[in-house]
Amino acid sequence: MGYFGGGWKPYVPVAERRRKALREMEKRRKKGESVSPVLVSGRIITNTFWGKSWCENLERYSDYANRLPRGRTYVRNGSVVDLQITPGAIRAFVSGSELYEVALKVAPVAKARWKSICDDCAGAIDSLVELLQGRFSKGVMERICRQNHGLFPSPAEIKLSCTCPDWADMCKHVAAVLYGIGARFDQQPELLFRLRGVDENDLIVKASQSIPLVNQQSTGAKVLDSENLADIFGLDMAQTTSAEHAEKTSAKPKPPKVSVRKRAQAKSDGRPASRKQAAPNRRQKQVRGIAQPAH
């Protein structure tokens, strides 16, 4: 049935539809609502490990094969004017003949599966930066992306809905949102872990945690005793320490040094060799001077 029979709506150019959608989103922004459009530069939708892996996972499932291509076109031309990712849920607005609302529900990763992923990746990922940038071994990548047993959801774990009149479970607006999620993971890969209800830090196991600490006190601090130092530096620490202690305790203070010249002069004058010895003689003279009467 043609448009003049009342069955079809008139064609509206993509640019006009986008302007209309953006005006609507601007109204929402002024009301205080958060608006986050998906912006794709060129034909390449995703560029990083997490974004590409998300999209490749979608394309592996035959359930999505027929509907995904139209979604790629929509996300490339900027039709996803808002995309919000929260734990277990995705909410988006897509510009079509009208502004349609898309809602997706994603089941959290089963605890047993997540534990298996973490156990298999233990010790292979050194830092959070390395994880979020996707810089790890091929074995870790394959384990995380394993179909039906990795971190990415299967079609059975995603529930789709859209306010458009398309009867299919996955309309082009939903497909656009699914690709938009991959583009968003390019910029914020941590959102994948929020969406699946897991903590990305569980995947990070430092190599140092597997090394037992030796010679620790109750506080947990590392201590090097004299025996360890002797082994490291090749010294007999016990004998050296004992000899130094004996020398310090047995040493006596030495008298002040007096030059030979001063000693000779003092001997000829009958004076003491040092000022410390002279002090008592002066006091003795004073006492004798008081005790003896004048003549």
Residue 260 counted as domain residue: no
Count of domains for the chain: 1
* Mean confidence (pLDDT) of the chain: 77
Secondary structure class of 83 (helix, strand, coil): strand
Question: Is the pLDDT confidence value at 95 over 70?
Answer: yes
| pLDDT tens per residue, range 268-287 | 555 555 554 544 555 454 44
User: Per-residue confidence at 238, pLDDT binned at 50, 70, 90?
Assistant: very low
Residue 83 counted as domain residue: yes
User: Per-residue confidence at 45, pLDDT binned at 50, 70, 90?
Assistant: very high
| pLDDT tens per residue, range 185-237 | 999 999 999 999 999 999 987 544 544 444 444 444 444 444 544 454 444 44
- Whole-number pLDDT of residue 210: 45
Judged by average pLDDT, the poorest of 55-69, 80-94, 124-138 is 55-69
Residue 252 counted as domain residue: no
Judged by average pLDDT, the poorest of 11-15, 83-87, 91-95, 233-237 is 233-237
Residue 278 counted as domain residue: no
Residue 230 counted as domain residue: no
Give just the sign of the alpha carbon dihedral 197, 203, 208, 212: positive
Q: At what angle are helices 226-233 and 237-250 packed, to 10 degrees?
A: 110
- The alpha-helical segments, DSSP class H, found in the chain are 14-30, 49-59, 68-76, 111-121, 128-132, 138-144, 172-187, 190-196, 226-233, 237-250, 260-269, 275-291
Residue 95 counted as domain residue: yes
Judged by average pLDDT, the poorest of 84-88, 187-191, 260-264 is 260-264
Question: Is the pLDDT confidence value at 40 over 70?
Answer: yes
Question: Is the pLDDT confidence value at 115 over 90?
Answer: yes
Residue 70 counted as domain residue: yes
Q: In which domain, by residue range, is 94 found?
A: 12-207
Residue 213 counted as domain residue: no
